[in-house]
Structure 1
Amino acid sequence: MQAGLHFWNYSVPGAPEALPSILAETARVAEDGGFTQFTVMDHWFQMERVAPATEPMLEAFTTLGFLAAHTSRMRIGPLVVGVTYRYPGLLAKTVTTLDVLSSGRAMLGIGAAWYDREHHALGVPYPPIGERFERLEEALQIALQMWSDDDGPYAGTHYQLEETLNSPRSIQRPHPPIMIGGKGERKTLRLAAQYAQIVNLTTNDPDEVAHLLDVLRRHCETVGTDYDAIEKTVIGSALDPFADTFLPHMERLAALGITQVALGARPADTVGQVERVAAEVLPRLAEL
């Protein structure tokens, strides 16, 4: 099993002035230590369920562009974009740009969005959940068309594009991988089965993961896609990788087909924690 690093808390000592150096050094240490992916949140306010909304939060793609310049091997991307925050054609162009400037390391992580406070605060429309999922599917279709040889129009219910011109093309072919994050059984996992190359389950409970993977498999059978071709990952940013229970927990997930866990880092010492995880945990994780 591999590990990704999910950098979700920007309340580091000395922020905001210290953020560039801490982000760059954390990414360097993570890459050198064997982490295979570096992700950031796509939020405008910190999530109230983990910290006050007034805590520091950086815009995702500006941050990822900065990280692209300080890394050379890790996959980078948002975990995950809220579909409501950007027009889909512009989002596909943004991810393409990140892929080109990172020499083919970008991914598009995307979901239906949920944080109503930041929508209302910043004047972003927040349609009902059903419409958000409709927009999510159209956004996926638009991205795939822009990453194809078809630069013609797209006509959907919510988005109409006269051209899907996208030059230059992405470095990765046929396109940067699409990650769909969440655990909704009826819509999220159906979209993952139909469009995604990566699924990120927002749980790491083995019993729940087993159930969700069964749901994903059934959706793949229904839409005619290859379940085994989808990379299965989980969020583990709240887990303690040094706890005695961590590796047995990961072993159960690996047996289910999970190939990557996204770990977090304490903001008080992100570099030190990542160094320790790389030295003490990743070699044992890789054996699973």
Structure 2
Amino acid sequence: MSTKKPFRFSLQSFNTDSPKNWRNLIAKTESLGYSTFHLADHFLSSGPALDSTYHPPQMLAAMPTIAMALEQTTTLRVGCRVFCNDYRHPIMLAKEAATLDYLSEGRFEFGIGAGWIKNEYDAVNLEFDEFPERFNRFAETIHAYKAFMTGEPLNIDGETLKWSGFHGTPTPAQQPYPPIMIGGGSKKILTFAGEQADIVSLNFNNRAGMLGPDGMNSGLAAATAKKIDWIRNGAGDRFNNIELEIGAYNTIVTDHPLPTATAIGEALGLSAEDILTHPHCLIGSIDFICEELERRREAYGISYVAVLDDGQNNMVDMFAPVVARLAGK
């Protein structure tokens, strides 16, 4: 098992009911000791295209929201969990990442994945290639991103990226580059993440292109242990330098966890025990959640945990006692 890393916590936000409340959420996230404020990278609002995926709609665009959050704060790290590689040209993504890190004096985190919601691609007539093609484009972006951040003259001659005749500017505050978070759930992505990433975000295997039982099963305890092995195999000697991150997508603070876990499990064809020990779930009292996070860090090495704010669940306050007790320890 890797050397224990101190706990970090992020709040991932999808929606807000007003600019004022959004600014208040950012300020509260910083004041309560969360490490990071994360956006996702989706553009679909509610409607038939997204409804069948069971994914929450995202109100705000990631890049301008990240910029405004960095401007409003002084210590909070801000990033995307995670950018979809196919949604913007990699040269603009690299330059924008360098700019955000430069202007924030080193508080930007760069999360990226290969893309997975086919319905979102289809809704705007964006070609959704088979996974090997999407992965190859994604891998080229990672290598190009690192090259851009060096500030050296660029000479990239890949299958999809061909950059030459210029060098990357501005120079980011974090060297050698703003930390890379690679998110995914397949063996190919996670092995590559072990090779290349600073932070690996453990996710479901979203091969179905939607949230549901297949994804939840791919994130069970035994499957998560296997994912850690894939990361370790890719990382080799650098494994202890990698920060392991996970989204606790079902976070419910309650003194009655069993009925809650039973209801969730019945909807997904899983047992209550599966849900209570599911690495993507945190269901129970504050004491239970803190003890479970420490157990999972011991078992898996996971020290970076994201909880989701949907604009209505007041997660920033609900989870704050956990942050106060464990952050940095």
1:77-98, CA deviations, whole angstroms, 9 ceiling, x for partnerless residues?
A: 1111111111111110011111
- State the TM-score, normalizing by the size of structure 2: 0.77
Specify the code of the residue in structure 2 equivalent to 1:50: Y
CA separation in 2, counterparts of 1:162 and 1:123? 30
Q: Match for 1:50 among 30, 41, 54?
A: 54
Distance, in Å, in 1 between the alignment partners of 2:144 and 2:82 is 17
Q: For the residues of structure 2 that align with 1:142 and 1:287, how far apart are their CA atoms?
A: 33
Alignment-derived partner of residue 90 in structure 2: 88
With over 3 angstroms needed to count, the CA separation of the structure-2 counterparts of 1:140 and 1:51, relative to structure 1, is: closer
Alignment of 1:91-130 (within 5 A): 91-130=93-132
Partner of 2:35: 36
State the partner residue of 1:65. Answer: 67
1:79 aligns with 2:81: yes
Indicate the structure with greater strand content: 2
Tell me the CA shift for residue 76 of structure 1: 1.0
Equivalent in the alignment of 2:9 = 3
Q: CA offset at residue 125 of structure 1?
A: 2.8
Deviation sequence 1:193-218 (CA, Å, 0-9, x none): 12100001015644333221122111
Contact 1:183 1:189 in 2 (8 A): yes
Tell whether 2:143 aligns with 1:141. Answer: yes
Gaps of 5+ in 1: none
Residue equivalent to 2:248: 236
Number of aligned residue pairs: give it. Answer: 272
Q: 1:163 to 1:235 in 2, by over 3 A?
A: farther
Secondary structure in structure 1 of the residue aligned to 2:165: coil
Give me the whole-angstrom Cα distance separating, in 2, the residues matched to 1:136 and 1:177. 16
The residue type equivalent to 1:207 in the other structure is: A
Cα distance in 2 between the residues matched to 1:282 and 1:258: 15
Give the superposition deviation at 1:191: 1.5
AA at the equivalent of 2:71 = A
1:284 aligns to what? Answer: 325
Q: How does 1:254-273 map to 2 (within 5 A)?
A: 254-255=297-298, 256-268=300-312, 270=314, 273=315
Give the Cα–Cα distance (whole angstroms) in 1 for the partners of residues 158 and 180 of structure 2: 20
Distance in 1 (alpha carbons) for counterparts of 2:55 and 2:176: 39
SS at match of 1:27: helix
TM-score (norm 1): 0.87
% identical equivalent positions: 28
Distance in 1 between residues matched to 2:12 and 2:243, nearest whole Å: 17
- Residue identity matched to 1:257: G
Residue 89 of structure 1 contacts residue 164 of structure 1 at CA under 8 Å; is this kept in 2? no
SS at match of 1:163: strand
CA distance in 1, matches of 2:91, 2:128: 19
Give per-residue Cα distances to partners, 1:212-243, cap 9 Å, x unaligned. Answer: 1122111222xxx5000011111113222452
| Contact 1:146–1:164 under 8 Å retained in 2 | no
SS of the aligned residue for 2:153 comes to coil
Q: Distance in 2 between matches of 1:6 and 1:235?
A: 9
In structure 2, what is the Cα distance between the partners aligned to 1:125 and 1:166? 29
Whether 1:26 and 2:38 are equivalent positions in the alignment is: no
Contact 2:85 2:115 in 1 (8 A): yes
Partner Cα distance (1:120, 1:266) in 2 = 25
Distance in 2 between residues matched to 1:137 and 1:276, nearest whole Å: 37
Q: Does 1:212 align with 2:227?
A: yes
